Amino acid sequence: MATTRDVARIAGVSVATISRVINKKGSVNPETTGQVLRVIEQLQYELNAVAHGLAGKKIRIIALILLNILSPFFPILVLGVEDMAHRCLTVILGNSDNLGFKIFLYKGTLEKVCGWLHLRFEYDS
């Protein structure tokens, strides 16, 4: 898997320039932007959401915590959330078993996620 350093080395620019192009922030010469984007495509570089978030920003991840993953309602819901989020977010799926301490652990572990969906729908068969 290619890293930002790989992209920078092949494009002949700094890692900071790669960051400015990816985040669309700061001033980058249009020719340099084009070169960086070509190298990104050539290397099939993909931004690692977790590594990106470790820099202190919110991670582009939403946490979907379900009451009981075995409920027949949830697969359709998970599919819909994933379909809507896949363009710009990663979805992490968790099962709380309706236990408060598990929810607490998820929230503590994933404190930098940009959103939470905690679903408490109960299904009686």
Mean model confidence pLDDT for the chain: 78
DSSP string, 2-53: --HHHHHHHHTS-HHHHHHHHHT-S---HHHHHHHHHHHHHHT----HHHHH
Residue 100 class from Cβ within 10 Å (0-12 exposed, 13-18 middle, 19+ buried)?
exposed
Confidence at residue 118, expressed as pLDDT on a 0 to 100 scale: 62
Is the confidence at residue 14, as pLDDT, over 90? Answer: yes
Q: Which domains does the chain have, with CATH numbers?
A: 4-46 (1.10.260.40), 59-119 (3.40.50.2300)
pLDDT tens by residue, 24-80: 888 899 999 999 999 999 998 887 655 665 565 666 777 788 887 787 878 888 888
pTM, entire model: 0.47
**Above pLDDT 90, what percent of the chain?**
25
